[in-house]
A = this chain, B = another copy of it.
Amino acid sequence: MPEAMRWSTENCTISRTMQILGDKWTFHVLRELFVGVRRFEDIRARSGIPRQVLTERLAALIERGLLRRHPYRLPGQRERYEYRLTQAGLDLYPVLVAMIQWGDQYLPLDGGPPIVAQHRECGERISVVLRCEAGHEPDAREVAIRPGPGARPRSLAG
């Protein structure tokens, strides 16, 4: 029996993160904000999200603290709001970059990658690497996901 079977999933960090991100459309919304598209109608036009779903997802992301509304005003128009990433939202960059990196490797396109992550200062391509606290950079087979200090035993019954 795998060791993990003895531990509960109820408070699992991945689950709790997926409750926020784990939705087809939520990730599309985040992508738009990461590439700099901030307004309702622009996000909708580029991503194809149904309006109602977009409204709901934006509200959820604000409530979770990943976005905030920011007033803006076009000349000769009334004040409106755009949506911006908070620090919590910006800190999803590693997740985004890791996904782009995986996609570039396993779902490549003939013309090359359609989007790249770039260091603003020097213009070079950015990627993510795994690193342990001893300074090693392990590859995938050297990584193990184990129960941590907050792990709770599983009440078997299902």
Interface residues of A (CB under 8 A from B): 2-5, 7-9, 11-18, 20-24, 27-28, 31-32, 34-38, 42, 45-48, 65, 87-88, 90-107, 109-122, 124-134, 136, 138, 140-152, 154, 158
Contacts and interface: CB of A to CB of B under 8 A. Distances in A.
A102 B24 contact: no
A138 B154 CA distance: 40
Specify which of A48, A107, A114 lies most central, judged by the most chain B CB atoms within 10 Å of its CB: A114
Contacts of A17: 99-100, 102-103, 107
Given A14-B96, A114-B13, A133 B125 contact: yes
A142 B119 contact: yes
- Chain A contact residues: helix, strand, loop or mixed: mixed
Contacts of A23: 22, 24
A115 B148 contact: yes
A148 B4 contact: no
B103 A14 contact: yes
A109 B152 CA distance: 12
Contact of A132 (B65, B125, B132): B125
B90 A94 contact: no
Given A112-B150, A148-B114, A107 B37 contact: no
Given A24-B18, A90-B140, A148 B116 contact: yes
A106 B88 contact: yes
Contacts of A14: 27-28, 31, 96, 99-100, 103, 115
